Chain A
Amino acid sequence: MRWLDLLRRRDRELRDELEAHLQMAVADRMASGASRADAEAAAKREFGNTLLVTETVRAVWGRTWLESLWGDMRYGWRSLWSRPGFAAMATLALALGIGAATTMFNVLYGVLIDPFPYKDADRLVLISVFDVDKPGEEGRRRIVARDEAREFARLTDVFEGFANSNGGRGVLDHGGLDYQVSVVAVSGDVFPFIGIRTMLGRGILPRDAEPGAPPVAVLSEGAWRRYFAANPGIVNRTIQVDRQVRTVIGVAAKRFAWFTGDIWIPDQNGFVTPANPAGLRYMQGRLRRGVSIARANAELNAVGKRLQADNPTPYPKNMQIRGVYCIDDLVGPPFRLTLYILSGAVFMLLLISCSNVANMLLSRASVRYREIGVRMALGAGRMRIVRQLLVEALLLAAGGAAMGSVLAYGGVRALQMVLPPNTFADESVVELNLPVLLFAVGLAMITVLLFGLAPAWQVARRDRIELLRGVSRSAGEVGRNNWLRDIFVGAQVAMSLVLLVGATLLMRSFAGVFMADTGVDAKSVAIAIPFFQQEDYRDRGRLRQLMQEAEIRVRSLPGVRAVARAGLTPIQWGGIPVEVGGVSRGLQESVHALASGDSTGLLDAAGYRISQGRWLTEADVAGKQNVAVINETLARSLNIASAPLGAKVALHIGKEPILCEIVGVLKDAPNQGMRLPVQPAIHVPVTIFPIWPGQLVVRAHGRAAGLIDPLWRELERALPNTRFIYVKTLDSLLESELGAHRFALALLGTFAMAGLALALIGLYAVMSYAVARRSYEVGIRMALGARALQVVRLVATRGAVIVMIGIAAGTAGSAAATRALASYLGPISAHDPLSYGAVIAALALTALTAILVPAVRALRIDPARALRHE
């Protein structure tokens, strides 16, 4: 406040100057012989009125614009303070709008718009092979083999460059301890390709990827902190990764998380390892500037057709090769849609809050004409009035903006804590983004200024005598701008309704996911997946032996109820799709199904329920019997649901189909995660269809969480020399799957509540003013003997009509808006009457409260006082 200091200094100096004058006059008189008392009295008399002198001098300088601004601010503050309810509601409404909108747009920005710190990330695509006959992700192969990659790499006229990467789990041996880390092998050109910066040292270069080059590694910033205590001298030191000694050549910059790696190593062998003989890898290309994805896809497809012609085996019949934008990949369509829906909701919230404040300002304006009339009659110029109103609006907006920023900051902090893992790019950071905040604050400011000046605009068209005569006397006289307010209230009710209906529908469908039957007792089940050394995968007989022994050892652990070897994880199979053809009963067409090789204990371990027949017996598994247990969906797909037992199906695995007899049918249980429909599935003995390395499914007597540690220790003993063993409870896996849902649910709930709160605030404020404006009329009516009910009806009718129109419009709007949600709602209909009914009831109740409270207050108007007021 420097200008304030300036003002105070001028006053102080003037005081000093006049004081000095007085002192000198006294000194002079004393020098000529007067006593101090006489001298002081005479000097003062001669000087005259100090205050008057001060005032006159001040008038010389006049009021600077700063001083009048200060005056305006104080006046504005007093004016707002005189109606603290209005100020609080307007500020709150603004703050809610700004806070919620900023928070949400920040998530969108961090997750969708700019998640990658990579060079030209918006042109990066992942080359994938699609089977057109299968829907979506199911028919997609994200990885390509070495031979395919070689061919794609020739398409340099559409692609600027390529990156090959293959991530995997690995072990960092450091300080005598083994750490599970993510080790990502990259081709030599990846680092320059994505334009990575290193914090220390250098990145991987093409020469590091040449065969025979010394083994090196680059650490992620996180790994460097976690395992090496952020040691700045790490470069050129050696570390041991997967039993191989490597020299650290650099530490990557923050936010660099290519394939979620902790450690990146150069690939020197075309990604070929004993476990990956085909050299499978993820291949990304960057489109040349100006090249459309369609053209790139056409070229990729041409290469694909050639490859298919040379060797049709690894390709689906109807094949398509496409580049998929990396951003689309990492932010999957469901989560992306959630974010769009949320941002739509939030923008609506911002609009609601702005219209809310606009409305309050308009209402307030109508009772200020008199005040403004008086000020103008006393000589205030029009510009002066406008400036004063402007300052007042700015004060209000500043309060809302400040509080909104605090809310936004808190919101972003809270979101950082609840953001679900694995739903978007690890690279993305959600943080308070200044332009976004400024946008929301700006919108709010514009609203406030626009409508804060409404009285001035009205006054400009009015005679000041008319203003003075008291236009505030009754509603009818100033009714000319009522329609604007009514529209605002109606629109607000309508928008709140759309927001609430959308949120409720989504919440209902999400809640359905949470409450759906998982088919298994997720809390008591744990899974364990061992990862062996690369060379161990060569001797599969030994692997089978090891897994069998591990199963037996785990069975004897205290607290274990059942254990089994299984091909896939319950609920989240992910799945190895196979073709299943019926060979008996005339079924010719084969269908796709997920196949799993399991051992006898799985029925109990996973808690599957038999619907017909039996599960795989010990004899089936040990004797490599060609028997199968299918789920109800597969039975229906094969058209054998009426009598499935004894039917024979051909399982197309490898070269020769295996002919299996169906011995049992399982009740359907989710096998593609909780949100996707159940897929056809087939279980066969693990001995005829092994999946490497397979996994152990363990069921505890109580909760599985307590079993994780002993299980892991026992497996470490049973399976020495593994790279590591992944042990998790099924519950925690579900949690990470449903995290995104929980997140969306929490957000939607918050926004819906915020919308309802805003609607309440807005209606209440407007109705309160309507009552205040009509207090004179109410007074007269009551003096003339109007009854309470009549008064309430008088005041409330208009509000009620507007609310009803708003609700009707909102219902129509919701019906249109929620159609877009339909695909996302699952079993819930977009016109779910329960959701609509609940929302309309809630909103109507809220509106009723907002209307009735001020209306009842009108009853307390004292007729005598209301009349005397004039």
Chain B
Amino acid sequence: MKCEEPYKNRIELLQGTLDMLILQTLRWGPRHGYAIAQGIRSGSEEVLQVETGSLYPALHRLEKRGWLRATWGTTENRQRARFYELTAKGKKQLAAEQAKWSQMVEAVAALMSREAGGEQV
């Protein structure tokens, strides 16, 4: 995954988190691919940048797994676009991922703070 400028304060997404972020973004209702990318970017205060080369394969992968459903619709600007929404299976998956994520965040945070402390000793 290449990380190009223009914003220097961006970081790469952790492996496996993109799926969760997409599901999370769609919690508020159906959105098209561009809106999802924008949602992740603005939701993370411009820190997380999603490459289209990762976004669309991920969307289709989730659709194939049955977590998302896609329909064609029009945006407020009369642009025809493919809208994704969560399926029941997708919602369940999101809940599971969230639980796993908080566990991981806690574990990583604990580990990182101890190591940081150890260094100080």
- Co-assembled chains A and B: yes
Residue on B with the closest CB to A56? B57
Which secondary structure dominates chain B's binding surface? helix
Chain A nearest Cβ from B71, distance in angstroms: 11
- Say yes or no: B64 contacts A18, CB within 8 Å: no
Excluding A16-B82, A24-B35, A27-B79, 4 further A-B contacts by CB distance (< 8 Å) are: A17-B82, A24-B34, A46-B4, A52-B53
11 sampled A-B residue pairs with Cβ under 8 A: A13-B72, A16-B80, A18-B56, A20-B32, A20-B80, A21-B32, A21-B34, A25-B34, A56-B53, A60-B60, A60-B61
CB of B103 closer than 8 Å to a CB of A: no
In angstroms, how far is the closest chain A Cβ from the Cβ of B64? 6
Instruction: Convert A47-67 into 0s and 1s, putting 1 for each residue whose CB lies closer than 8 angstroms to a CB of B.
Output: 111001100110111000000
Residues of A within 8 A of B46 (CB): none
Chain B residues with CB under 8 Å of A24's CB are: 32, 34-35, 75, 77, 79, 81
Chain A residue numbers with a CB within 8 Å of B35 are 24
In chain A, positions 48-97 with a C-beta closer than 8 Å to chain B are 48-49, 52-53, 56-57, 59-61
Residues of chain B within 8 A (CB-CB) of A48 are 51-53
Q: Is B30 an interface residue (CB 8 A)?
A: no
Residue of A nearest to B54 (CB): A56
Could you say which of B33, B64, B80 contacts A60, with CB atoms under 8 Å apart?
B64
Chain B residues with CB under 8 Å of A14's CB are 56
> Is there an interface contact between A17 and B56, defined as CB atoms closer than 8 Å?
yes
Q: Are B79 and A53 in contact (CB under 8 A)?
A: no
B81 touches A53 (CB 8 A): no
A residues sitting closer than 8 Å to B (CB atoms) are 13-14, 16-18, 20-21, 23-25, 27-28, 45-49, 52-53, 56-57, 59-61
Contact flags (1/0) for B47-72 with A, using CB distance below 8 Å? 00001110011001100100000001
List B residues at the A interface (Cβ < 8 Å).
4, 32-35, 37-38, 51-53, 56-57, 60-61, 64, 72, 75, 77, 79-82
Q: In the complex the two chains form, is B60's CB within 8 Å of A57's CB?
A: yes
Residues in B neighbouring A27, C-beta threshold 8 A: 77, 79
Complex-state Cα separation, A487 to B62, whole angstroms: 58
Contacts of B61 in A (CB 8 A): 60
Q: Are B79 and A20 in contact (CB under 8 A)?
A: yes
* Bound-state Cα–Cα, A45 to B60, Å: 22
Is the CB–CB distance between A53 and B82 below 8 Å? no
Report A-chain residues with C-beta under 8 Å of the C-beta of B53.
48-49, 52-53, 56
Bound together, the chains give a CA A28 to CA B79 distance in angstroms of 12
* A45 CA / B51 CA spacing, docked (Å): 11
Whether A13 touches B60, Cβ cut-off 8 Å, given contacts A48-B52, A52-B53, A53-B53, is: no
Cα distance A52–B61 in the bound complex, in angstroms:
16
Question: Which of B56, B75, B81 has a CB less than 8 Å from the CB of A57?
Answer: B56
Cα distance A13–B60 in the bound complex, in angstroms:
12
Cα–Cα, bound, A49→B51 (Å):
11
Query: Which of B37, B51, B57, B81 touches A20 (beta carbons < 8 Å)?
Result: B81
Interface residue from A16, A28, A47, A59 paired with B52 (Cβ < 8 Å): A47
CA A28 to CA B76, docked complex, whole Å: 13
Contact B64 A61 (CB under 8 A): yes
Instruction: Give A27's nearest chain B residue, CB to CB.
Output: B77
Shortest Cβ-Cβ A-B pairs, 3 listed: A24-B34, A20-B81, A60-B60
Cα distance A28–B72 when bound, in Å?
21
- What's the minimum C-beta distance from A600 to chain B, rounded to whole angstroms? 102
Please measure, in the bound complex, the distance between the C-alpha atom of A49 and the C-alpha atom of B54, giving whole angstroms.
12
The CA-CA distance from A633 to B57 in the complex, in Å, is 100
A13 to B34, CA, bound (A): 15
Contacts of B51 in A (CB 8 A): 48
Closest to A13 in B: B82
**Chain B proximity of A154: nearest CB distance (Å):** 80
Residue of B whose beta carbon sits closest to that of A52:
B53
Query: In the complex, A848→B109 CA distance in Å?
Result: 89
Known A25-B34, A53-B53; contact A61-B60, beta-carbon cutoff 8 A = yes
CA–CA, A13 and B32, complex, Å: 13
Minimum distance in angstroms from B62 CB to a CB of chain A: 9
B residues near A17, Cβ cutoff 8 Å: 32-33, 56, 81-82
Distance from A299 Cβ to chain B, minimum over Cβ atoms (Å): 78
A16, A20, A60, A61: which contacts B34 (Cβ < 8 A)?
Answer: A20
Task: Please name all residues of chain B whose beta carbon is closer than 8 Å to the beta carbon of A52 when the two chains form the complex.
Answer: 53
Shortest Cβ distance from residue B106 to the other chain A in the assembled complex, whole angstroms: 32
- Identify the closest chain A residue to B2 (Cβ): A48
Flag if B56 contacts A53 (CB, 8 Å).
Answer: yes
Q: Are B60 and A21 in contact (CB under 8 A)?
A: no
- Complex CA gap A751/B16 in Å reads 71
Q: Which of chain B's residues have a CB closer than 8 A to the CB of A47?
A: 52
Would you give the shortest CB distance from B111 to chain A, in whole angstroms? Answer: 33
A25 to B33, CA, bound (A): 11
Chain A residue contacts of B34, Cβ below 8 A: 20-21, 24-25
Residues of B within 8 A of A28 (CB): 38
Complex CA distance for A17 and B81, rounded to whole angstroms: 6
- CB B1 to nearest CB in A, in angstroms, measures 11
Q: Which residues of B contact A46 (CB under 8 A)?
A: 4, 52
State in angstroms the CA–CA spacing of A49 and B4 once bound together: 13
Q: Which residues of A contact B32 (CB under 8 A)?
A: 17, 20-21, 24
Contact status of A60 and B57, CB under 8 A, knowing A17-B33, A47-B52: yes
Q: Are B57 and A57 in contact (CB under 8 A)?
A: yes
Give the shortest distance, in Å, between A563 (CB) and chain B (any CB): 94
A45, A47, A57, A59 — which one has the most chain B CB atoms within 10 A of its CB? A57
Tell me the complex Cα distance, A47–B4, Å: 11
CB distance from B34 to the nearest CB of A (A): 4
Q: Are A18 and B81 in contact (CB under 8 A)?
A: no
A23 to B81, CA, bound (A): 10
